[in-house]
Amino acid sequence: MQDGRAPQIKNRAPAAIQHVEDLEELHDYRDCKRKEFEKRIRQTQGSINEWLQYANWEAIQGERALDIDPLSVQLWLGYTEMELKGRNVQCARNLFDRAVTLLPHVDQLWLRYVYLEELLQGAPGAWQVFERCLQSEPDDKAWQAYIEMEQRYGEHDRASAIYEQWIAVHPKPQVWIKWAKFEEERGKLDKVREVFQTALEFFRNGAEQVEKVQAVFNAFAKMETRLKEYERVCVIYKFALSRLPRSKSQALFAAYTKFEKQHGSNTTLESVRELLRDGRNYNVWFDYARLEEGVLRVLRDEGANPEEEERAIERVREVYERAVARRYWQQYIFLWLFYTLFEETETRDYSWARQIYQAAISLVPHKRFMFAKLWLMFASFEVHCLQLPAARKILGTAIGSCPKEALFKGYIQLEIDYDPRNSAAWLRYAELESQLEDIARARAIFDLGISQPQLSTPEVLWKAYIDFEIEEGEQAKGWVAEPAPALSVLDASSDCS
């Protein structure tokens, strides 16, 4: 070149083989080829060869796009749509089958496949596709679509079974709620309770799980409220709140508070009104006391501060004090017993519990009415407080006031529990049963006594046992003919000596 410039080379012919690197490049290539074919057709109108070349080129394009990106959902959907527009239904079904096999976790493909099968074969074809879909454990959208299809065909029991499968795969709180709502809408209240109770069992372990499932408890409580099952509602709320700290259950506690204001407080006020009308309605006193004790336990479970807990304790005491202040119905001594148990187990105020026992004992007219259980519980309380002399004194006083079989047995049992080596206690116990003419029990007590590893005076117990068998043999008039019971005891005694 005279001007010193490099020569320009024009590449008039493309390369023999061109490689397409991505989907965008493929689209550009196809657009260019189509424009070229369209131009040639316009220039050579009536040339059948140009049309044939254009058609053959479109046919050989085939599935090159799928070779480039076989995981493109949009590509599969476009391909099937093209086949359906061309009325190639079987090809479209085959494409959907290939697509869901390659991409089993894409709900959109499954739902379009189900829609096609439902149009072609109705419910049976759609069921088959859905069952295949469920094997891949799809997301919630596919499960919900399957259930809605079953509802359209009136297959409510099948829909319920699908909910059960859904829960097994995705045990999310919202799924439990949807299932319960579905059962409630079709009037299966027992099934609704079963669903919610299964949820309670599933989420019962660990505060973390219960925190996530507060919506389930709320839905359960609201359902029972609609049915006016207020006691069930209380149990549900208390179950949830007992497993959650207050800081993590604000919404649930607010719902419970609202319920108590609407229904719980009405129940309490009704109990109070009933008591004002008739102070001797003892069943209401029991219910009232249990209600206040339940509030105390809920507060403790929620982590209430000491002041709140103390106020709740005072409310319980106030109810019991008002109940036991009515001295003309001593036969309802069980209120005293519940009061003492509350102080012993809930507040652990042993001094106050002891005073309650003493007040109850002073109230009961022991000459006309003897309640052995009160004395025995008082003695047992002192044993728990490690006050054995006081327990003996209580039972001794009880026997002196009114010698009753239960008191004797309780006293002897106390001695045996305290010292099983005490031969005298075993002897008194057996003699008591013998005097009550319960020979089998007396013999069993003797056997139990002599079987102890150590006894304070074993020979005394053995002699009493031998005398007992001899006496029983003579009374049966079979002593001369059959001395076996007494002889067996003698043999055992000689073996031990």
Q: What is the DSSP string of 188-217?
A: -HHHHHHHHHHHHHHT-S-HHHHHHTHHHH
- The answer to whether residues 166 and 176 belong to one domain is no
pLDDT of 389 over the 70 cut: yes
Query: Which pLDDT value is given to residue 273?
Result: 46
What phi and psi values does residue 370 have, to the nearest 5 degrees?
A: -120, 120
Query: Which pLDDT value is given to residue 419?
Result: 52
pLDDT of 204 over the 80 cut: no
268 occurs within a structural domain = yes
- The answer to whether residues 141 and 214 belong to one domain is no
* pLDDT band (50, 70, 90) for residue 447: confident
- The answer to whether residues 261 and 164 belong to one domain is no
- Residue 483 and residue 491 in contact, taking contact as beta carbons nearer than 8 Å: no
- The answer to whether residues 227 and 258 belong to one domain is yes
* pLDDT band (50, 70, 90) for residue 78: confident
Is the pTM for the entire model greater than 0.95? Answer: no
User: From the centroid of its chain, how far is CA 146?
Assistant: 28
Q: How many domains would you assign to the chain? A: 3
Q: Which of 234, 249, 277 is the last residue of a domain?
A: 277
360 occurs within a structural domain = no
CATH number of the domain that residue 273 is part of: 1.25.40
Which residues does 472 contact at the CB level (< 8 Å), separation at least 6? 439, 485
Query: Which pLDDT value is given to residue 23?
Result: 66
326 occurs within a structural domain = no
Q: Which of 237, 261, 277 is the last residue of a domain?
A: 277
Alpha carbon distance 275, 102 (integer Å): 73
372 occurs within a structural domain = no
Alpha carbon distance 360, 340 (integer Å): 10
Alpha carbon distance 191, 196 (integer Å): 9
Q: Mean pLDDT highest for which of 8-17, 183-192, 247-256, 304-313? A: 183-192
- The answer to whether residues 133 and 217 belong to one domain is no
- The answer to whether residues 269 and 176 belong to one domain is yes
Alpha carbon distance 162, 207 (integer Å): 29
346 occurs within a structural domain = no
- The answer to whether residues 221 and 166 belong to one domain is no
Alpha carbon distance 491, 493 (integer Å): 5
Which residue is it, tokens 């297959």? 155
Assign 3-state DSSP to the chain and report helix, strand, coil percentages, each to 5. 75, 0, 25
Four-residue CA torsion sign, 105, 106, 108, 109: negative
Alpha carbon distance 233, 151 (integer Å): 30
- Residue 141 and residue 180 in contact, taking contact as beta carbons nearer than 8 Å: no
Four-residue CA torsion sign, 186, 191, 192, 193: positive
User: Mean pLDDT, the chain, as a whole number?
Assistant: 72
- Residue 323 and residue 293 in contact, taking contact as beta carbons nearer than 8 Å: no
Structure tokens at 442: 């007396």
- The answer to whether residues 82 and 118 belong to one domain is yes
464 occurs within a structural domain = yes
51 occurs within a structural domain = no
| 430 vs 299: which has the higher pLDDT | 299
Q: Which amino acid, one-letter code, is at 336?
A: W
pLDDT of 496 over the 60 cut: no
433 occurs within a structural domain = yes
Domain of 206?
A: 172-277
- The answer to whether residues 105 and 194 belong to one domain is no
| 201 vs 246: which has the higher pLDDT | 201
- Residue 326 and residue 280 in contact, taking contact as beta carbons nearer than 8 Å: yes
Instruction: Mark out the alpha helices in 243-369 (DSSP H runs).
Output: 250-259, 265-277, 282-301, 306-324, 334-341, 350-363
pLDDT of 476 over the 50 cut: no
| 454 vs 310: which has the higher pLDDT | 310
CATH number of the domain that residue 87 is part of: 1.25.40.10
Q: Which of 170, 185, 204 is the last residue of a domain?
A: 170
- The answer to whether residues 182 and 159 belong to one domain is no
How many other CB atoms sit within 10 Å of the CB of residue 435? 11
